[in-house]
Amino acid sequence: MTTAHMPTLALKGADIPLLGLGTWQSEGSEAELAVVAALELGYRHIDTATGYGNQAQVGRALATRGNDRDDIFVTTKLPPDHAGRERQTLMESLAELGTDHLDLWLVHWPPNGEATPSTWEAFIAARDEGLTRAIGVSNYSIAQIDELIAATGEAPAINQIPWSPSDFDADLLAAHAERGVRVEGYSPFKRTSLEDPTLVGIAEAHGVTPAQVVLRWHLEHEVVVIPKSTNRQRLATNLDVLGFSLTPDEVARIDGLGATADR
């Protein structure tokens, strides 16, 4: 398995590994064991959220492994209904995770469907205090990001959104890039058929799986990706995407699946 030297993206305040472990829907001991297995396999980026109800399990896994805290990139998220209780929620997250700082803290959804600059101001304050190295948002539109920038002068470091070949939108990627916002994708397999002939053909050409092709495609676009699994073999397979690369033509063909999905 080729897991060494996972590429990273520079965010304001932190470098984020391009591939990490998502823990949505992982609960109880299953969540803890999945994170332990992931760290043993070489993952150095773990994504959780207050709303997932598994921060304590993630924290136990981090402590069990005994890794240097600075070696693991930890993300969690503020639930939208906790707007106005940002600092209290952050301190609770830090306690459950067993750490004195996050690497990335995200607004999980726009509170009440609104950009909510007051919450973003609280995030900036937490970052400036050293409680989190980087700050960002999740499930925000470009218009909502613009509202945060207009109100505070500071863009989110990252926007975590659903992303897969079927979701590919070059204009949306460009709009984020123009604002200095990185894109992080979740649910990489949810809306794309891994039996699609394009993905199957490219996978066969490289001797890998269609799922690995999808993950490698994210890396080629410098889109952070956080596939979730509690299966050790699948965790290993998902991480093993550094031993091959896609040609520009292959990337373009996969991009085309987004146009196909729109029709």
Q: Which residues are catalytic?
A: 52
Q: Would you state the structure tokens that stand for residue 199, as one six-digit string? A: 């993905």
Separation CA 188–CA 19 (nearest Å) = 11
Give strand pairing partners of 16.
9
| Sequence-ordered alpha helix ranges (H) in the chain | 28-41, 55-65, 86-97, 117-128, 142-152, 170-178, 197-206, 210-220, 232-239, 248-262
Query: Cα–Cα distance between 117 and 128 in angstroms, integer?
Result: 16
Q: Are 7 and 224 in contact (CB under 8 A)?
A: no
Q: Which DSSP state fits 196? A: -
With vertex at residue 99, the alpha carbon angle to CA 96 and CA 102, rounded to the nearest 5 degrees, is 100
- φ, ψ for residue 224 (rounded to 5)? -65, 140
Task: Say how many CA atoms lie within 13 Å of 237 toward its Cβ.
Answer: 15
What is the CA 96 to chain-centroid distance, rounded? Answer: 20
CB 228 within 8 A of CB 21: yes
Length of the chain, in residues:
263
Name which of 221, 206, 203 is nearest 258 in CA terms: 221
